[in-house]
Amino acid sequence: MITEGLQSSLRNVVGGDGVVSHATELSVYDCDGYTLEKSIPDVVVLPRSTDEVAAVLKLLNAEGVPFVPRGTGTGLSGGCLPLGAPVMVSLTRMNRILELDPANRRAVVESGVINAWVSRAARPHGLHYVPDPSSQMACSIGGNVAENSGGPHTLKYGVTTNHVLGVTLVLPDGEVVHLGGMTEDTPGYDLLGVTVGSEGTFGIVTEAILRLCPLPQGYKTLLAIFDSVADGSAAVAGIVASGVVPAALEMLDRLIIQAVEDAFHFGFPRDAGAVLIVELDGPEAGLDGAAARIREVCEANGATGIRVARDDAEREALWKCRKRAFGALGRLAPNYCCQDGVVPPNRLPEIMQRIEAIGDAYDLRIGNVFHAGDGNIHPILLYDERDRDETERVVAAGREILRECVALGGSLTGEHGIGVEKVALMPLIFTPDDLSVMEDVRAVFDPEDRCNPNKIFPSTGRQVEVRAPRRQAAM
């Protein structure tokens, strides 16, 4: 528990309004976008600067108190769930864009800055920040750095780690270090590279130097309609093999199409088995030729119709549907759990078949809306958390899906992270020797295991077993 003395010291650092300790206010922080487990911190601290973060961590260090960093809480693997960490450090008040250098295509931002703000600020200069998680209107750059977030447009342009040039990291003892920098190839080990995607276990990233990219000269966005997910998956494999690299290649299955159509009235065919959104971008001159090739591949794989977005407004409407698909599921069930497995793209037809079989076996409704081009699936398992039996079936079915991904040569997570959710599954892809190197590296940054403890590594001894919804997650 947090002593009164520590609370008052924390208030001295961040101001009275920067420490949350009332139970009702704390309940806001009981989970992120992964809602199967919940746990409330003792206090939430909201620093306003790197110096304040450093001062807070020094205080916690002096008393040996574990803590968990949190951005805006949109994560999908329970990465900022406090487990044995009484103090949560929220970065939401560090939300300034510090510098925009269009000539060098760099932006320097505080980690509480919302992803979409960066592109909005860069747009007048003909630039944008490429990684675009579906939650980009709400998720923070700090969270993106922690999880190495992806998004639809990372197929062609790479994920967060390919677009971060430097970070300011406050280590668990309060020391501030700068990793990477404004320039490329800074001498020494690439500590930046291993910090991105470390799920907030190395310390607290307070600032990031981001690479900006020119806005594409043109877009061509196609919607291909299929009778079945199997046909759509075959088309995805065909597109990847065709050599055309779309900026984005997304699939929605029937359940999702219907939910999205009910919510946004875009004009999706409600009876389609699957649709593919294929976006091409780049210099105008090449777009028509590439679109023709995509059209051929889709038709060869049984597309029953292909539409091309007529203008920017239609393109934006289409992306709105895709990016808000999760939200639209509220119409179908009170709760959902989104998995994030990866398979080699040519195994998509098999994994989709297996997911369907798993849904049948566990008597669950499973929708699919995902980044097909890189094989990053997002099966969405619908449930009602008041139904304990259904909740347990969701957990079991989710794990079975991930086991199948691994069996097909894939991975447990493409962009959401291990968090608390998939800790117990890590031995499926890593040996104890593999994991021990990672834990050794973690200990370099966080020797006392106080920064976001009980995440990622199964050796922490915690088995993630969910027995009842709304329970407090226990160690």
Partner 1 sequence: MAARPEQEAPTAPDWSGFDEDLRQSPDVPAAGTAADFARFAIDGVRPERVVCPASVPQVSRIMAAAHSRGLAVVPVGFGAHLGLGAAPCRPFLALSLASLDALVEHQPANMTLTAQTGMSVTAVQAAAAGSGQWLPVDPPLPAATSVGGLIGANLSGPSRFSQGTVRDLLIGVTVVRADGSVARSGGRVVKNVAGYDLGKLYCGSLGTLGVIVEATFKLRTSPEARAAVRMTCGDVARAQALLERILKAPLEPSCIELVTRLPADGSGCVVVVGLAGATEDVAAQSATLTALAEAGDRIEHLAEDEAHAAIVELRDSRAVGEAFLGLKVSVLPTRVSAFVAALEGEGRTVGLAMAVQAHAGNGIIHVRVERPDDPGPQASARAVVDRLRREAARLGGTLVVEQAAPEIKPGLDLWGGGIEALPLMKRIKQTLDPKGILSPGRFVDGIE
Q: Which residues pair with 250 in a beta bridge?
A: 277, 371
Least distance in Å: CB of 146 to partner 1? 10
Least distance in Å: CB of 232 to partner 1? 16
Q: Which residue, 345 or 469, has its beta carbon nearer to partner 1?
A: 345
199 and 421 in contact (C-beta within 8 Å)?
no
First to last CA, the chain: 15
109 and 210 in contact (C-beta within 8 Å)?
yes
Q: Which of these, 379, 368, 373, 375, lies nearest to 343 by C-alpha position?
A: 375
Least distance in Å: CB of 2 to partner 1? 29
Cα angle: 214, vertex 217, 219; to 5 degrees: 115
Cα angle: 93, vertex 98, 103; to 5 degrees: 150
Q: Which residue, 93 or 295, has its beta carbon nearer to partner 1?
A: 295
Q: Which residue, 316 or 434, has its beta carbon nearer to partner 1?
A: 434
Least distance in Å: CB of 305 to partner 1? 26
Least distance in Å: CB of 221 to partner 1? 18
Q: Which of these, 121, 146, 122, 118, lies nearest to 132 by C-alpha position?
A: 118
Residue 282's H or E segment, with its range, is strand 274-282
DSSP 356-408: HHHHHHTT--EEEEEEGGGTB--EEEEE-TT-HHHHHHHHHHHHHHHHHHHHT
Q: Where are the beta strands (DSSP E) in 175-304?
A: 176-180, 204-211, 213-214, 218-226, 248-253, 274-282
Q: Which residue, 38 or 371, has its beta carbon nearer to partner 1?
A: 371
**3-state secondary structure (DSSP) of residue 79:** coil
283 and 254 in contact (C-beta within 8 Å)?
no
Least distance in Å: CB of 195 to partner 1? 9
DSSP tag of 89? E
Q: Which residue, 102 or 330, has its beta carbon nearer to partner 1?
A: 102
Least distance in Å: CB of 199 to partner 1? 8
CA distance 47 to 51: 9
Q: Which residue, 360 or 434, has its beta carbon nearer to partner 1?
A: 434
Q: Which residue, 334 or 447, has its beta carbon nearer to partner 1?
A: 447
Q: Which residue, 367 or 414, has its beta carbon nearer to partner 1?
A: 414
Least distance in Å: CB of 129 to partner 1? 16
